[in-house]
Amino acid sequence: MNDNSKVLAALLAGIAAGAAIGLLFAPEKGTETRDKLNDSLRNLADSIKDRASDEISNLKDAKNRVADNLKSKFSSAEDQVRTAGGQAKSAFGDAADSTENNFNQA
């Protein structure tokens, strides 16, 4: 369980315990207590949605960074392969020319 999950679990447990204790010791009418509880739960839901949205945004950013990094590495590897291929082609051509010259001189 990562730190964010632990914090969220502790937050939810704290809110549930607070709501239960509040209901037990509430001097208010039941309707008022339920309204306050509904407001608290609505606020909790909003904060969870905000936190989830932030985490999703962070994951998207991380995904984009990894994708860009991989694209860069593949591009670099492709350039190296093209360079090596050009060098091999040149070396092969030089060897063929040298062999042809040696054959003609013989």
Structure tokens at 50: 């905000």
- pLDDT recorded at residue 65: 93
What's the whole-model pTM score?
Answer: 0.48
Neighbours of 37 (CB within 10 A): 14
92 versus 75: the higher-pLDDT residue is 75
- Report which residue type is found at 83: T
pLDDT digits (tens, 9 = 90+) for 50-77: 888 888 999 999 999 999 998 888 888 8
* Cα angle value 45/24/34 (rounded, 5°): 40
The residue type found at 52 is: A
84 has a pLDDT exceeding 90: no
All residues at 6 or more sequence positions from 40 whose CB lies less than 8 Å from its CB, including other chains: 15, 19
Share of the chain above pLDDT 90, in %: 10
> Is the pLDDT assigned to residue 1 strictly greater than 60?
no
**Structure confidence at residue 64 (pLDDT):** 93
